Structure 1
């Protein structure tokens, strides 16, 4: 089974996304299946490590937190941009020390941070395990470090280790 479907979740996700984007018909189902199978087989050449989910039951909690944070950040950034007095806003860079070392966890954290408006993952030093983060409206550096570590990193560590 693993030769035909080396990454079954990837195949199913790609097929579902294909059908959502292109509509459901027999032709789209066949074409989407072919593309999803081919993409899954091509992933074997990249040899990504398969993550071991210890706390898989925490995934819905993480997704809910990320969706809520993205929603709130969209509103906060829109208010900052539309505000007339731009002199009070101050962007900046902060360094966040991370305990997370798993490549999959770091990739998920990068997606979370970058998809949240007002923040951007700039650089990660694997030797020092430090993240350089850009914040659009940097008021309190300690707040952002605590937010990344306690809100996202802790959950990712619980899920992946």
Structure 2
């Protein structure tokens, strides 16, 4: 029973909340609510098991502060750039070589880069060893790579070994 219903209370909650959201007791909605009530707790359990390998909560907390600070600074820089002359911007794509191999760490790195204004993660190479990043303005590719690797990738490697 535990295998099909790893969290019975969560299943009941999903079932009830779905029916409240759709405000209908039609058979199709009840069936969909039942499917969601069975599937979502199983997915949540799988995600918990996959992320149970994260380590170093202190490093993760410092990384969050660094990312939030960088987001504020990047917002100011992007505003300054887009309010200035367009001819002064130098957009570019750069492949960032990755040392991190944990898929959750790579996803977190791609998310951090995308959340930071002025940069967007665009593609992960098939071998998951390089991440393509678009920069709104790039003066020095090597400096940008070093910045991402030291400020984001290095702490993520400690959190997701």
Please list every run of 5 or more consecutive structure 1 residues that lacks an aligned counterpart in the other structure. Answer: 6-10, 12-29
Distance 2:111 2:68 in 1: 12
Which residue matches 1:25?
none
TM-score by length of 1: 0.73
Q: What's the C-alpha RMSD, in Å, of the aligned pairs?
A: 2.9
TM-score by length of 2: 0.73
Please report how far the alpha carbon of residue 126 of structure 1 lies from its aligned counterpart in structure 2 after TM superposition: 3.8
Please list every run of 5 or more consecutive structure 2 residues that lacks an aligned counterpart in the other structure. Answer: 11-15, 22-35
Which residue matches 1:69?
70
Partner residue of 1:4 out of 4, 7, 20 = 7
Which residue matches 2:31?
none
Which residue matches 1:107?
107
> What are the within-5 Å matches in structure 2 for residues 102-141 of structure 1?
102-127=102-127, 129-141=129-141
After the TM superposition, which parts of structure 1 deviate over 3 Å for at least 4 consecutive aligned residues?
Answer: 37-40
Q: Which has the larger radius of gyration?
A: 2
> What are the within-5 Å matches in structure 2 for residues 8-157 of structure 1?
31=17, 38=37, 40-41=40-41, 43-44=43-44, 47-48=46-47, 50-51=50-51, 52-83=53-84, 85-127=85-127, 129-157=129-157
